[in-house]
């Protein structure tokens, strides 16, 4: 089957969620608006996530996996997914399933006219502290990047793969994907998506990850923006 979309699912100690992930994604593949496959990226999980992942991939021909030798972080997992994808489009969803795979179809409606489409979590089901820290962090990022995005941390995105592969990733850069597409003169937009409370497993990000860490990452982004190489070929001899 010729897939057009690879859905990247980073996994770190999410064994409690993976059976539900299999069910939700397998159901989505049946209703996806383009032929899609799933790529798990196991970021060096310490629990039995890998055993679940291998069983899932054995049961489902459209599911594959990558296993890291050690934990390298969410940005590394996303980059590995970009590097291994062979489809024209890549998607990204967290394995905690606080967003719904069904909403990929809403994002796909806009991908023909944009290089990145990101979700905006409406009516978020997180704690007050998590919501406020994310709101502040998003405001800081908008001030630095001028990308106009309200929820860059939303774990539901569709990107044209050739643009995704050109993103020079570093730790924390998963929060700057829209801005990095803009550096390539790509078009970006945001679409409201559903949000659900986490019902299994534990959150991997605390106050530092959501607020103080991203502030430091903004300075890294500004340095990269200043040094970023971008060019367009006008003509070649061939």
pLDDT attached to residue 198: 65
What is the DSSP code (8-state) at residue 142?
H
What are the b/e assignments for 40-49, b being 16+ CB within 10 Å?
bbbbbbeeeb
Q: How confident is the model over 156-207, as pLDDT tens digits?
A: 999 999 999 998 877 777 788 998 899 899 999 999 998 877 676 566 555 5
pTM of the predicted model, to two decimals?
Answer: 0.84
Spatial separation of the C-alpha atoms in residues 147 and 189, rounded to whole Å: 9
Query: What domains can be seen in the chain, in order of their start residue?
Result: 5-227 (3.90.550.10)
* pLDDT tens, per residue, the chain with 238 residues: 699 999 999 999 999 999 999 999 999 999 999 999 999 999 999 999 999 999 999 999 999 999 999 999 999 999 999 999 999 999 999 998 999 999 999 999 999 999 999 999 877 655 555 666 666 666 667 666 677 787 877 889 999 999 999 988 777 777 889 988 998 999 999 999 988 776 765 665 555 555 566 677 777 777 777 877 777 788 888 7
Half-sphere exposure of 185 (CA within 13 A, CB side): 4
Of 157, 226, 159, 153, nearest to 187 (Cα)?
159
Of 92, 216, 82, nearest to 156 (Cα)?
92
Radius of gyration of the chain (CA): 17
Spatial separation of the C-alpha atoms in residues 191 and 83, rounded to whole Å: 26
Q: How far is residue 158 from each of residues 45, 91, 155, 179, measured CA to CA in Å?
A: 25, 4, 10, 14
Spatial separation of the C-alpha atoms in residues 73 and 115, rounded to whole Å: 25
């Amino acid at each position: 089957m010729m897939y057009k979309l690879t859905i990247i699912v980073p996994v770190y100690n999410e064994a409690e969620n993976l059976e539900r992930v299999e069910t939700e994604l397998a159901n989505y593949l049946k209703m996806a608006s383009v032929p899609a496959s799933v790529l798990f990226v196991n970021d060096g999980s310490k629990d039995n996530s890998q055993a679940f992942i291998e069983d899932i991939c054995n049961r489902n021909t459209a599911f594959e996996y990558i296993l890291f030798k050690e934990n390298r972080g969410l940005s590394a997992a996303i980059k590995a997914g970009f590097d291994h994808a062979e489809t024209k489009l890549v998607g990204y969803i967290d394995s905690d399933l606080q967003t719904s795979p069904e909403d990929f179809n809403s994002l796909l409606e806009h991908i023909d006219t944009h290089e990145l489409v990101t979700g905006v979590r409406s009516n978020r089901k997180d704690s007050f502290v998590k919501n406020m820290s994310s709101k502040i962090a998003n405001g800081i990022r908008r001030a630095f990047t001028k990308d106009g995005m309200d929820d860059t941390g939303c774990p539901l995105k569709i990107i044209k793969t050739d643009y995704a592969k050109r993103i020079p990733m570093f730790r924390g850069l998963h929060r700057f994907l829209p801005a990095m597409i803009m550096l390539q003169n790509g078009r970006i937009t945001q679409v409201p998506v559903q949000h659900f409370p986490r019902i299994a497993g534990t959150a991997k990000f605390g106050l530092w990850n959501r607020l103080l860490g991203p502030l430091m990452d903004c300075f890294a982004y500004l340095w990269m923006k200043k040094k970023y190489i971008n060019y367009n070929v006008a003509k070649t001899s061939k």
